[in-house]
Amino acid sequence: MHVATTIAPVQDGQLTEKIHDDLATRRLAPAEHVVDTAYLSPAQIERAQRVHGITLLGPVLANKSPQAKAHSGFDKTAFAIDWGNEQAICPRGATSVSWTELHISGHIYLQARFAERDCRPCPDRARCTSSATGSRSIAVLPQALHEIQMRNRLDQQTEQWQRRYAIRAGIESTLSQNVRAHGLRRSRYRGLTRTHVQHVLTAMACNLSRLANWHDATSTRRASRFQTLCTAAGFTII
Ligand code: SF4
């Protein structure tokens, strides 16, 4: 069990890279790391593979565009991207007229905007944009990350992917055990260093108690000498 301690406002996903770096330093980097959505983004999937050879497995955020949520109209997947010419081609065959870099929540996106002369008279306008007069635009991640995002979104719908991801079942109960049985949410000390020691000891206790549970469940208890003697004499001990 790897233990990382941070101050409270640090979000889960901000730790993914540090966890991988720390595990790699100890030569303990896994071939596959199965996480929930909070711990992965296309950029983190790409970095884990490139830097450490780790397959970061988990569901990426779903497409939240109005069209994708409604399962109707033209969401981003309906547009073809011509990366070489920095253009998008819409389902009606129009080509975008501008290609701009955007910075949103620390991520780089590329925004392709279509011309009003194409969108205003378009018969599919209502399926494409909610703007009364403006033209459609789409924002995509840079090519490598966009392709990871699209592939992951498709894969995570499949039964095969979901069976593979099912290996994560049970980890929430481990977290819950640490929180409820071992008081993980309350720091007994001040300062990150001491709190980290508490977390490491808690993780060790959790490992030991699980090992003991596993041992109890799998071992057949050996009879004591007294039991063996009684059994040989024809007595049964209850
Ligand atoms: S509204 Fe514009 S971008 Fe959308 S399908 Fe019509 S021409 Fe293409």
Question: Count of CB atoms within 10 A of residue 136's CB?
Answer: 25
Any atom of ligand 1 within 6 Å of the Cβ of 76: no
Ligand 1, atom nearest to 129 Cα: 1
- Whether 174 is covered by a domain: the verdict is no
Kindly state the DSSP code that residue 95 receives in the 8-state scheme.
B
H or E element: which one contains 147? Answer: helix 143-155
Lowest average pLDDT, out of 51-60, 117-126, 156-165, 218-227, goes to 218-227
Banded pLDDT at 107 (limits 50, 70, 90): confident
User: Strand runs (DSSP E) across the chain, as ranges?
Assistant: 32-34, 55-57, 80-82, 87-89, 98-104, 107-113, 137-140
> Which of 143, 174, 204 delimits the end of a domain?
143
The pick from 117, 128, 130, 138 for probing ligand 1's pocket by mutation, whose C-beta has the most ligand atoms within 8 angstroms, reads 128
Last residue of a domain, one of 112, 143, 174: 143
What's the pLDDT tens digit per position in 40-57?
999 999 999 999 999 999
What is the per-residue pLDDT for 26? 92
Domain count, the chain: 2
Q: Are residues 193 and 135 in the same domain?
A: no
Does 204 fall in a domain? Answer: yes
Domain end among 143, 163, 195? 143
Confidence class for position 64, pLDDT limits 50, 70, 90: confident
Residues 72 and 139 in one domain: yes
Rounded Cα–Cα distance for residues 45 and 60 (Å) = 10
State in Å: Cα 140 to ligand 1 middle: 17
Whether residue 59 is contained in a domain is answered as no
Confidence of residue 104 (pLDDT cuts 50, 70, 90): confident
Q: What's the longest Cα–Cα distance across the chain? A: 101
For residues 177-193, average pLDDT: 88
Mutate to test the pocket of ligand 1, among 72, 89, 129 (most ligand atoms within 8 A of CB): 129
Q: What is the pLDDT of residues 109-155, one digit of tens each?
A: 999 999 999 999 999 999 999 888 899 999 999 999 999 999 999 99
Label residue 213 by pLDDT band (50, 70, 90).
Answer: confident
Give the pLDDT band of residue 87 (cuts 50, 70, 90): very high
Q: Is 60 contained in some domain? A: no
pLDDT in tens, 27-43: 999 999 999 999 999 99
Answer whether residue 195 is part of any domain: yes
User: Does a structural domain hold residue 179?
Assistant: no
Please tell me whether residues 70 and 136 are part of one structural domain: yes
In this predicted structure, the answer to whether residue 158 has a pLDDT above a threshold of 60 is yes
- Structural domain span for residue 233: 186-238
pLDDT at site 220: 61
Task: Quote the percentage of the chain above a pLDDT of 90.
Answer: 63
31 in a structural domain: no
